[in-house]
Structure 1
Amino acid sequence: MIYSLDKINEMAEGDTDFIESVIAVFLDEVPQDLKNLEAAIDSKDYEKVYKLAHKIKPNVDLLGMEQTRAVALEIETLGKTPGDNGPAIEQKFPALKKDVLQVIAELKNDFNF
């Protein structure tokens, strides 16, 4: 398991509906954001890469995915920085994708979504 519900549990203060709604939003939004990010990387639309990585970052942070958050931050920074950062972004993206897809599968299994 590469996610942790510690942050969500702290925010929820025992409200299981809140926890499930946060997870539902993650499962609803993040897969599409990930697809859009991959498409933006493929089309070298670095402004969009920056925006999508920035959007994914708090979602993975909320699930305690510190390494994944760090990779999203690196991609976000590279997308915002002028110059040809495409190769660096392309090198980092597979780790982000792998972790996010793994957590999506784990959450669907763990919470019967």
Structure 2
Amino acid sequence: MEQHYKLFRVRELADGDQDFINVLAQTFLEEVPADAKILKEAVENNNHLATYQTAHKMKPTIDMFELGVLEDLIEVQDWGKYEKKEINIIPKLEIVLAAIEQASNEIRSDFNL
């Protein structure tokens, strides 16, 4: 099965400390899905400020776990930052949310969390 997240940067940051890797995985599961829910609600409610702030907060973790959707997340962030009302950002948001859900399921399984 294809893995939708990568641990290269996580392992590099942890410098071989498996306990720290486990903590980062746990933290991902505690924060990212909750932030994704906030992001989804912010976009649905055209709350540009909350969209920008939440997407901006999520970027480092999405990048560290290499979900492959950083550019999509940046587009969502920019939609919020620049209040690009004329752009339908929902397709990009859906790509980000699907990647987060898939990675969360895989991390739960891979780390027995």
How far is the alpha carbon of 1:86 from its aligned partner? Answer: 5.4
Structure 1 regions of 5+ residues with no counterpart? none
Distance 1:44 1:10, change over 3 A: same
**Equivalences, count:** 111
Is this contact kept in 2: 1:78–1:85, CA < 8 A? Answer: no
Query: Which residue in 1 is equivalent to 2:95?
Result: 95
Q: Which runs of 4+ in 1 moved over 6 A?
A: none
- For residues 49-91 of structure 1, give each alpha carbon's deviation from its aligned partner in whole angstroms, at most 9, with x where no partner exists: 00111111111111122x311111111111101341452x212
2:106 aligns with 106
Taking the aligned partners of 1:27 and 1:90, their CA distance within structure 2 comes to 23
Task: Check 1:111–1:46 CA distance in 2 against 1; reply closer, same or farther (3 A cut).
Answer: same
Distance 2:17 2:32 in 1: 23
1:44 and 1:86 in contact (8 A); partners too: no
Q: Partner residue of 2:58?
A: 56
Percent identity, aligned pairs only, is 32
Asked whether the equivalents of residues 53 and 77 of structure 2 are also in contact (C-alpha less than 8 Å), the reply is yes
Letter aligned with residue 108 of structure 2: K
State how far apart, in whole Å, the 2-side matches of 1:85 and 1:41 are. Answer: 13
| Residue in 1 that maps onto 2:80 | 79
Q: Call closer, same or farther: CA 1:51–1:60 in 2, change over 3 Å.
A: same
What does residue range 2-81 of structure 1 map to in structure 2 within 5 Å? 2-65=4-67, 67-81=68-82
Per-residue CA distance 1:6-64 (angstroms, 9 max, x = gap) = 00111111101110111111100111100111111111101100011111111111112
Higher helix fraction (1 or 2): 1
